[in-house]
Amino acid sequence: MFFSFNVTACAQNVHSDSYSPQVIRKVPLGQKVVALTFDDGPSAEFTPKILHILNQYHAKATFFVIGSRVERYPSLVRQLFYNDDEVANHSYSHTIMTRKRETTTETELDSTQNAVETVLGYRQPRVFRPPFGRVDRTLLRTARKKDYAVVLWSIDSHDWADPGVERIVNQVTSRVHNGDIILFHDQGGNRKQTVESVKRIIPILQERGYEFVTVSELLNYSNLKRD
């Protein structure tokens, strides 16, 4: 399903980074709604396992994909979309995008967005997460000009460090609040701990009454369902 939102309006209604009101970290809400996000994929090994868990628990997530990997694994991207998960922009080459020329940033954004939309055959929401969460004024200015919502996270699961399943589970479940955006990875290394952690985290949070939505849906909550 396609969700549209006004980037400026969203920035006014969300918890933004101190660096710029354009950087979204969470959406303060009265409702028990959170967004799971997965970076760096798709992965032929780990993305299908995560997708299976999401389907098992009727949960949605947003996958911030790398454009070059979209071209390599188009069937996985279609599978995500057809299962009502969101496919969002994480650059084409996963290079650090600070201290870059505006034209370079535009190419990274456009190449990934075009790759996703070519595979899916649909216009997608312009949701962008810069690699490593690194931003500067040029990147933010370019993203704003091209009408992207720049989305980071409010909870880092630390799965990238392979700290052990127990630590990942505790890192998320002990900190979660309404409107959080939670960072995981489905590629970029051995993500077995991520898979096992997600398998445990989702039912724990569901028992607490949380619903899992995409980032675009969460941003729409900020406009449509504010207290």
Which entry of 39, 40, 159, 186 is annotated as an active-site residue?
Answer: 39
39 belongs to the catalytic site: yes
Q: What are the strands, taking DSSP E only, across 105-220?
A: 127-128, 149-151, 155-156, 181-185, 211-212
Could you write out the DSSP letters of every residue in 54-77? HHHTT--EEEEE-HHHHHH-HHHH
Structure tokens at 87: 């496919």
185 belongs to the catalytic site: yes
Burial of 38 from C-beta contacts in 10 A (0-12 / 13-18 / 19+): buried
Residue 122 and residue 124: Cα distance in Å, rounded? 6
- Owner of token pair 């980037």: 7
Which entry of 40, 94, 185, 186 is annotated as an active-site residue?
Answer: 185
- Owner of token pair 């489905």: 186
How many CB atoms are closer than 10 A to CB 198? 28
Active-site residue list: 39, 185
